């Protein structure tokens, strides 16, 4: 578990409580405290009521078919996700409402009404069909945070081609792994994107990746514009590569949406697990859309005139569910920003909030900790008085960060929804309801109505401190790991019988609130990004100088966790500062900059059990500067002492 038990015991005695204001309560989307009981008494009926708020081409015969660990929701129902996000808003006043308000990092701005977005998506759907993409074919999307990312996703959904969005910060090799695993036929990328004033050359990365793939027939390239003069500089491979704008020019704006079965594949999204190979989390259509729709509306208290901003990247699940599908299914106005929060200065986010009159703001604790460090002056320069609700996601939020968010960004008037969920859960699972729940800094509070979550011990007994467990199927649950059924069962369903194991530790307090304590497996959470220790270890041993490595998480003030790598070099190689820099860069090149280790400690030996298993627990103790735990099972206990001395010598950076 990241974080130590003592600190969490202190958390559980948290006395501060914040009730929604009378004003907020009076207008809340969910205002009836009986909702929890109603939902629990008839879970299927509850979800069915939400599903009815969507447009179905054909109604379902059964709400749920549960054959653990396989669930089917809204069995027999037919619908199309893009139709629900676009077409159904075109008949009323939403037609001319802004669907997407986008700002690029250099300051370029584009706004799409629902009518506009529908047209662009329909055209791009025809473009994809013209490139030979048929229902069921996979499409990889490797784009910056530009409107075309949302357009591409919705176009895939419209024609029934599952997308696999790959975060633009991933390396060519990581992209290639994902393209190959999904056997993607088409890759959609851009000549570049902006990040902190620099240009990320996505097409060049995609070229390198596609060289390692034999399944890709076409690469569609978006010209990002705003000073990126890709045309001319970008190498276009004849017959394979095509410019987005060339194809869009002649594409028809009429495209009938594919009639999809409720259980047809909507997308695959890769996420880190406990092995070296990322897993392709599979999401389907009807249940997923129902839960992202319901949670967006209820948790963010979404109203017709809100300006909603989720700062995530579409490359992560938060961007899928809470930038694209949830808000657009609700007919919301979504703000999308391309770049970094500190470019050109540390006031950029607040400048954007003021400029567009943001009312709902959803971000990650790691960002909040960075804002705290940058100081109150930055938000203080802007008018944030339109903000009425704040949200967080991605990692446990420490009470100081929560209080700062409440006071400085929320002006002490905004409810904060601390939302727990995962790539695998597809949508929010544990969260306050802003018009009902008394919040306490640091807890995600209670399961959303219709969700059954509890805390279990190793043998499946109820306890107040142990593992978080989801005890009933939910509509947006993953339907599997792409092409790896065995791993699906083993990872999530083998700990207890018919109960989902998310991999997080949790505690329950006297109010029955759930406190999520972080991962209990070998998955790190660095600045809200999931990274498997094994992935980083594989990247390290891939370097010619490395004999062996072990990677652990280390508490970090802003990122939550940072990566500490313990490395044994091959005979004759010296552990110099250059070697340290080389290995850090090697990991960044192999996986992406988010996986760059913060420190590399060279050691002659790693602590191992007599059977040769590396004892990561001891390495975590060393990295955290804690008293080292039980070493009696080690083959050579002296290794730990030597390592500890070495670590302290090298400076506990």
DSSP string, 176-237: HHHHHHHT-SEEEEES-EEETTEEE-HHHHHHHHHTT-SS--EEEEE--BTTB-HHHHS---
Strand, coil or helix: 81: helix
Peptide bond into 20 cis (omega under 30): no
The CB-of-445 to ligand WTA minimum distance in angstroms stands at: 10
Distance CA(101)–CA(407), nearest Å, equals: 27
Should residue 320 be labelled a site residue for ligand WTA when binding is judged by CB under 6 A? no
- Binder to ligand WTA among 519, 586, 596, 616 (CB under 6 A)? 519
Phi-psi category of residue 226: left, alpha or beta, with phi > 0 → left and psi -120 to 50 → alpha: left
* Distance from the Cα of residue 248 to its chain's centroid: 30
Choose between 158 and 163: whose C-beta lies nearer to ligand WTA: 163
Distance in Å from the first CA to the final CA of the chain: 22
Contacts for 534 with CB less than 8 Å, ≥ 6 apart: 274, 275, 276, 522, 551
Give the interface size with ligand WTA as a residue count (CB under 6 A): 23
Should residue 271 be labelled a site residue for ligand WTA when binding is judged by CB under 6 A? yes
Should residue 418 be labelled a site residue for ligand WTA when binding is judged by CB under 6 A? yes
The CB-of-270 to ligand WTA minimum distance in angstroms stands at: 11
- Binder to ligand WTA among 422, 476, 533, 561 (CB under 6 A)? 422
Distance CA(137)–CA(126), nearest Å, equals: 14
Should residue 518 be labelled a site residue for ligand WTA when binding is judged by CB under 6 A? yes
The CB-of-397 to ligand WTA minimum distance in angstroms stands at: 7
Should residue 515 be labelled a site residue for ligand WTA when binding is judged by CB under 6 A? no
Compute how many other C-beta atoms are within 10 angstroms of the C-beta atom of residue 519: 20
The CB-of-299 to ligand WTA minimum distance in angstroms stands at: 12
* Distance from the Cα of residue 577 to its chain's centroid: 34
The CB-of-407 to ligand WTA minimum distance in angstroms stands at: 20
Contacts for 616 with CB less than 8 Å, ≥ 6 apart: 522, 533, 550, 552
Distance CA(605)–CA(579), nearest Å, equals: 17
Residue nearest to ligand WTA (CB): 423
The CB-of-564 to ligand WTA minimum distance in angstroms stands at: 19
Should residue 314 be labelled a site residue for ligand WTA when binding is judged by CB under 6 A? no
Partner residues linked to 566 by β-bridges: 550, 601
Choose between 354 and 423: whose C-beta lies nearer to ligand WTA: 423
Should residue 331 be labelled a site residue for ligand WTA when binding is judged by CB under 6 A? no
Choose between 126 and 271: whose C-beta lies nearer to ligand WTA: 271
- Binder to ligand WTA among 379, 394, 560, 597 (CB under 6 A)? 394
DSSP string, 415-453: -EEEEB--TTT-S--B---TTTPPB-TT--BSBPTT--E
Distance CA(415)–CA(434), nearest Å, equals: 6
The CB-of-173 to ligand WTA minimum distance in angstroms stands at: 21
Should residue 439 be labelled a site residue for ligand WTA when binding is judged by CB under 6 A? no
Distance CA(427)–CA(289), nearest Å, equals: 9
The CB-of-49 to ligand WTA minimum distance in angstroms stands at: 25
Residue 118 dihedral angles phi and psi, to the nearest 5°: -60, -40
Compute how many other C-beta atoms are within 10 angstroms of the C-beta atom of residue 370: 18
The CB-of-321 to ligand WTA minimum distance in angstroms stands at: 8
- Binder to ligand WTA among 525, 549, 562, 603 (CB under 6 A)? 525
Should residue 524 be labelled a site residue for ligand WTA when binding is judged by CB under 6 A? no
Should residue 395 be labelled a site residue for ligand WTA when binding is judged by CB under 6 A? yes
Choose between 428 and 546: whose C-beta lies nearer to ligand WTA: 428
The CB-of-439 to ligand WTA minimum distance in angstroms stands at: 12
- Binder to ligand WTA among 318, 333, 359, 491 (CB under 6 A)? 318
The CB-of-468 to ligand WTA minimum distance in angstroms stands at: 8
Should residue 362 be labelled a site residue for ligand WTA when binding is judged by CB under 6 A? no
Should residue 363 be labelled a site residue for ligand WTA when binding is judged by CB under 6 A? no
Query: Using CB under 6 A, which residues numbered 442 to 501 contact ligand WTA?
Result: 444
Choose between 527 and 623: whose C-beta lies nearer to ligand WTA: 527
- Binder to ligand WTA among 502, 532, 575, 592 (CB under 6 A)? 502
CA angle (438, 441, 442) in 5-degree steps:
115
Binding site for ligand WTA (CB under 6 A): 271, 316-318, 393-396, 418-423, 444, 502-504, 516, 518-519, 525, 530
């Amino acid at each position: 578990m990241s974080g130590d038990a003592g600190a969490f015991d202190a958390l559980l005695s948290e006395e501060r409580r914040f009730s929604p204001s009378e004003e907020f309560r009076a207008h809340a989307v969910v205002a009836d405290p009986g909702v929890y009981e109603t939902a629990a008494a008839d879970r299927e009926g509850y979800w069915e009521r939400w599903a009815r708020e969507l447009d179905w081409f054909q109604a379902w015969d059964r709400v749920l078919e549960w054959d653990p660990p396989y669930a089917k929701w809204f069995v027999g129902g037919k619908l199309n996700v893009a139709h629900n996000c676009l077409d159904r808003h075109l008949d009323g006043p939403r037609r001319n409402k802004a669907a997407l308000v986008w700002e690029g990092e250099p300051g370029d701005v584009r706004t799409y009404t629902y009518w506009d977005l529908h047209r662009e998506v329909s055209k791009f759907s025809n473009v994809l069909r013209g490139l030979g993409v048929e229902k069921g074919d996979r499409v990889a999307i490797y784009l910056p945070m530009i409107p075309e990312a949302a357009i591409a996703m919705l176009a895939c959904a419209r024609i029934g081609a599952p997308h696999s969005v790959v975060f633009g910060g991933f390396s060519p090799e990581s992209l290639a792994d994902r393209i190959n695993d999904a056997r993607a036929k088409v890759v959609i990328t851009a000549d570049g994107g902006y990040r902190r004033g620099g240009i990320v050359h996505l097409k060049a990365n995609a070229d390198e990746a596609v060289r390692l793939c034999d399944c890709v027939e076409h690469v569609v390239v978006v010209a990002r514009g705003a000073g990126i003069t890709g045309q001319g500089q970008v190498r276009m491979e004849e017959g394979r590569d095509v410019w987005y704008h060339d194809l869009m020019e002649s594409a028809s704006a009429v495209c009938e949406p594919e009639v999809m079965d409720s259980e047809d594949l909507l997308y695959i999204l890769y996420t880190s697990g406990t092995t070296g190979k990322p897993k392709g989390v599979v999401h389907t259509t009807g249940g997923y859309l129902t839960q992202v729709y319901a949670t967006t509306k209820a948790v963010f208290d979404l109203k017709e005139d809100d300006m909603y901003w989720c700062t995530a990247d579409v490359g992560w699940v938060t961007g899928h569910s809470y930038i694209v599908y949830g808000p657009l299914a609700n007919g919301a106005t979504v703000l999308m920003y391309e770049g970094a929060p500190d470019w050109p200065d540390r006031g950029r986010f607040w400048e954007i909030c003021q400029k567009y009159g943001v009312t709902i703001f959803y971000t990650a604790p790691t960002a909040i900790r960075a804002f705290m460090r940058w100081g109150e002056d930055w938000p203080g320069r802007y008018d944030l008085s339109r903000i009425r609700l704040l949200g967080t996601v991605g990692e446990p939020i420490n009470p100081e960060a929560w209080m700062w968010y409440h006071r400085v960004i929320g002006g002490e008037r905004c409810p904060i929804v601390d939302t727990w969920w995962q790539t695998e859960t597809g949508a929010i699972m544990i969260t306050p309801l802003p018009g009902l729940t008394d919040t306490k800094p640091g807890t995600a509070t209670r399961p959303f109505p219709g969700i059954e979550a509890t805390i279990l011990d190793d043998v499946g007994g109820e306890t107040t401190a142990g593992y978080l467990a989801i005890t009933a199927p939910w509509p947006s649950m993953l339907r599997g790991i792409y092409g790896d059924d065995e791993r699906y069962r083993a990872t999530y369903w083998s700990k207890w019988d018919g109960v989902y194991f998310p991999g997080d530790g949790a505690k329950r307090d006297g109010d029955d609130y759930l406190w999520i304590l972080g991962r209990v497996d070998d998955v790190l959470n660095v600045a809200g990004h999931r990274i498997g220790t094994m992935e980083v270890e594989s990247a390290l041993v891939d370097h010619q100088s490395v004999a062996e490595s072990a990677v652990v998480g280390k508490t970090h003030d802003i990122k939550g966790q940072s990566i500490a790598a313990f490395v044994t070099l091959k005979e004759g190689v010296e552990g110099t500062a250059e070697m340290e820099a080389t290995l850090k860069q090697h990991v960044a090149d192999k996986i992406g900059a988010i996986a760059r280790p913060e420190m590399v400690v060279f050691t002659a030996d790693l602590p191992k059990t007599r059977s040769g298993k590396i004892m990561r627990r001891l390495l975590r103790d060393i990295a955290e500067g804690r008293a080292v735990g039980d070493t009696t099972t080690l083959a050579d206990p002296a290794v730990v002492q030597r390592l500890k001395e070495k670590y302290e010598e090298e400076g506990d950076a």
